[in-house]
Amino acid sequence: MSGASNKITDDELNALILRLGTLLPQLNHGRHGRASSSTTKILKETCSYIRRLQKEVDDLSKRLSKCLDSMDITSSDAEFLTNLLQQ
Amino acid sequence: MNNPHHLNPTSLKSRFTTRFLRALTKIRAQKPISSSSPTEIFRRYRRIKVAADKSMAYSVRSRRIWSRAMLWKLRSRSYRRQDPCSGRRSGKTNQAIMKKSSNGNITRRREDGVGFVEEADELRQLVPGGETMNLCNLLDETAHYIKCLTTQVQVMKKIADFYSF
């Protein structure tokens, strides 16, 4: 059709949706693995997952605000933490 | 430990961690330790939250539509606080930036979402800059955004655990 590819092909769409599905914790039991998870379901799960993550960031911010006073972040701490996180 | 593909979790994580820790140190230095009033704690929580988003957006830079949108939002917010008149101008700039990133597909997006327009629109509200993305970009950006969010949560959790025993 058009070379500008404004319209997404079905294959591309399926590939993108599937990839999203692999990122979602709930959907990863791999029941049948295939088309059983409809696009709508995956999109819905994606939305609630994002909401959940955003709320976690929010809660963690609150938690950090409470213990910020006791945080004496030295440069060695930063290095240690970064290494710890890289594992 | 070397991930050549798309998102390199190691370097994004360390970039975010370094920035975020630096921001936390600054926030901590801003107010005297004696203040533990609920208002103060609330203000701190807001600052920390902004710092977390800022650190992540800056770690991703302008490589992604969502990070560009978030950076724009963060910058315009600080400008607006200084100069109330800039609000109108930045609205127009936003349109220009968004138009560029979505390849002018703003009016087209409805025809892409056969049968799941509602869910796609809901997703658009959640991903920064999503309102102007076509479906293809939206799904791509969402995957990256989720990966970054999980990194953000992971790092913040480790930091909170590290300093709270």
Residue B128 lies inside a defined structural domain of this protein: yes
Residue B124 lies inside a defined structural domain of this protein: yes
Pick from B161, B51, B49, B76: which is nearest to A54 by CA? B49
A70 or A61, higher pLDDT: A61
Tell me: the pLDDT tens digits for B32-56?
Answer: 656 678 888 888 999 999 999 999 9
CA distance B14 to B3: 14
- Split into its structural domains, chain B has a count of 1
- A interface residues, B as partner, C-beta within 8 Å: 6-8, 12-13, 16-17, 19-20, 23, 39-40, 43-44, 46-47, 49-51, 53-54, 56-58, 60-71, 73, 77-78, 81-82, 84-86
CA distance B129 to B82: 24
Residue B123 lies inside a defined structural domain of this protein: yes
- Average pLDDT in chain B: 78
Q: What is the pLDDT of residue A73?
A: 73
Searching chain A, which residue's CA lies closest to the CA of residue B20? A78
CA distance B139 to B127: 10
Q: What is the pLDDT of residue B137?
A: 93
Which domain, by its residues, includes B31? 12-85+96-163
Tell me: the pLDDT tens digits for A15-69?
Answer: 999 899 999 887 655 554 454 568 888 999 999 999 999 999 999 999 999 888 7
Give me the helix-helix angle, B9-30 and B38-60, nearest 10°.
150
Q: What is the pLDDT of residue B108?
A: 39
User: For A4-18, B95-109, B136-150, which range has the lowest pLDDT when averaged over its residues?
Assistant: B95-109
- CB-based contacts of B129: which residues, under 8 Å, 6+ apart? B65, B66, B68, B69, B70, B98, B101, B141
Residue B49 lies inside a defined structural domain of this protein: yes
B70 or B80, higher pLDDT: B70
Is the pLDDT score of B10 beyond 70? no
Is the pLDDT score of B139 beyond 90? yes
Minimum-distance CB partner of B45 among A51, A56, A65: A65
Best mutation target, B33, B42, B50, B119, to test chain A (most A CBs within 10 A)? B119
Regarding pTM above 0.90, the answer is no
- CB-based contacts of A76: which residues, under 8 Å, 6+ apart? none
Q: What is the pLDDT of residue B91?
A: 47
Enter the ipTM. 0.79
Residue B16 lies inside a defined structural domain of this protein: yes
Is the CB of A20 less than 8 angstroms away from the CB of B17? no
Kindly indicate the confidence band of residue B72, based on its pLDDT and cuts at 50, 70 and 90: very high
Residue B115 lies inside a defined structural domain of this protein: yes
